[in-house]
Amino acid sequence: MIQCEGLVKIYKAAELEVFALQGLDLEVESGELMAIIGNSGSGKSTLLNMLGGLDRPSAGKLVVNGRDMLKMSERDLVEYKRSSVGFVWQNNARNLIPYLTAQENVELPLLLGGKPRRDRAQELLEAVGLGHRRGSRLHQLSGGEQQRVAIAIALAGGPRLLLADEPTGSLDSRMSDQILDLFRDLNRTTGITIVIVTHDPLLARKVERVVAIRDGKTSSEMIRRKSYAEELLELEQGIASGAQDEADSHVEYAVLDKAGRLQVPASYLESIGAKDRNKVKLELADGAIRLTAPDERK
């Protein structure tokens, strides 16, 4: 569904250039539910905007659902944003119109797209568990219910890709769990590809793969030891999973670029006394690669 190779994004202001992405590589399979995590300024939201056609890359390769995002015309981008991708934002003001009911909010994009409205809007609200609240206005809905309406709106165009930017950032932990469970259900029942961008590593408990971005590059991937569905089944059967803690639920792998480079976490470098050095000693020993701090005189 998504293929990024050497993706670069440069923002220019006067004579200042800021590299938001610095050669990022990423692949996302069709029908996958995955998360992208990173600190503020890491480049994750920049990547999301380019995946959604809201911004263009400066260089590199970006193909989404077989479409080259660098070669698309403005007209093609408009059509792509209407029919191929859906957005869910943290700030509900970007998703919803406050003086409309839940159903009217969902009907609006259907109206603009020239599609049948009422029955389809009711169907979408049922899919997100809000069929009984379709006549409610936004002030009558909780934060979690408003976010469910926003998800229904994002699905209105029948997209193949759903992008969620901090979708649980303004919700409490219970509501966050419900929204993430909804994403899982939609992914399983419709096959839609879902990419969730967040700064919260606890999200890793709910998805099979988590990609970490640091300094504009993919730094690591975390893959589940067992699928989330398997762990839920074991819990229901009273079987100890052995991977209940976040630290144990995933295996983390460093990501190598095509030149064989990787990012070493600062905590690792600090532990060997090499955090403030510009070089480390690299050795191959007993089938393993070892990094050690250089001698003091070096």
Q: Where do the structural domains in the chain lie, given as residue ranges?
A: 29-54+67-262, 264-298
Of 53 and 266, the structure prediction assigns the larger pLDDT to 53
If pLDDT is split at 50, 70 and 90, which confidence band does 8 have?
Answer: very high
User: Any idea what DSSP says for residue 224?
Assistant: E
- Tell whether the model's pLDDT for residue 242 goes beyond 50: no
- Tell whether the model's pLDDT for residue 268 goes beyond 90: no
Alpha carbon 110 to chain centroid distance?
25
Which amino acid appears at position 46 of this protein? T
Q: Please report where in the chains the tokens 């191959």 appear, as a residue.
A: 284
β-pairing verdict for 2-13 and 16-28: antiparallel
Of 234 and 222, the structure prediction assigns the larger pLDDT to 222
The pLDDT tens digits for 190-225 are: 999 999 998 877 776 678 899 999 888 888 888 887
Tokens of 267: 């905590």
Total residue length of the chain:
298
User: Any idea what DSSP says for residue 247?
Assistant: H
Mean pLDDT of the chain: 85
- Tell whether the model's pLDDT for residue 240 goes beyond 70: no
Q: Which CATH architecture has domain 29-54+67-262?
A: 3-Layer(aba) Sandwich (3.40)
Do 88 and 147 touch, CB atoms closer than 8 A?
Answer: yes
How many angstroms separate the CA atoms of 162 and 95, rounded? 14
Q: What is the pLDDT of residue 243?
A: 45
E strand intervals along 99-176: 161-165
What proportion of the chain, given as a percentage, has pLDDT over 70? 90
Q: What is the pLDDT of residue 293?
A: 84
What proportion of the chain, given as a percentage, has pLDDT over 90? 36
Span 133-158, average pLDDT: 90
Helices 102-112 & 118-127 angle (0-180, nearest 10)? 120
Q: What is the pLDDT of residue 138?
A: 85
- Tell whether the model's pLDDT for residue 48 goes beyond 90: yes
Span 119-148, average pLDDT: 90
Report the C-alpha dihedral over residues 143, 149, 153, 155, rounded to 10 degrees. 110
